Amino acid sequence: MRRRMIYVGLWAATTAVAVLVGVLAVSTVGATIRDRGPVGAEVIRDTDTDRTSVPSPDGPAVRDEIAGEWGAFDVECRDTWAYGVGVRPDEANGWRIVSWEKGPDDDVDAVFSDGQNSVDLEVFCNRGRPTLAELERNTLGD
């Protein structure tokens, strides 16, 4: 009976260590593997800044447009803060806006749809410039 308890204890400890290693691996390198968002030295951040405060709207801004067959999403960066400035769906081809995020946030999203398809954009600020982090295309059901 004592030997079984030792085996159960060892199994539980090994399982806990394996889960911990998996969680750490996914959280530290998962975004890099998927090539999403700011990772490592790709983004220059000011670590002395209080991240709980709202960014100043008077900071230097860089604006860019993320465009495709669905239309365009205008995003502005102030340091590492992203602002969704505007969206322009390609209405002539049946695209409309489902939702979009104004920010400020570390990334902003916009979702476009033509009734049969949807496009979900995620944009973040990479070195102060709007950068597409993810473009997800979906086929909608009936």
Q: Kindly report, residue by residue over 58-101, the tens digit of the pLDDT.
A: 667 899 999 999 999 999 998 888 999 999 999 999 999 999 99
The domain tally of the chain equals 2
| Within-domain flag for 51 | no
| Within-domain flag for 92 | yes
Residue ranges making up the domain that contains 26: 1-34
- How is residue 105 annotated by DSSP? B
Question: In this structure, are residues 124 and 116 in contact, taking their beta carbons and an 8 Å threshold?
Answer: no
Q: Kindly report, residue by residue over 93-124, the tens digit of the pLDDT.
A: 999 999 999 988 899 999 999 999 999 999 99
Q: In which order are the strands placed within the sheet that holds 62-68?
A: 62-68, 71-78, 81-89
Q: Are residues 102 and 135 in the same domain?
A: yes
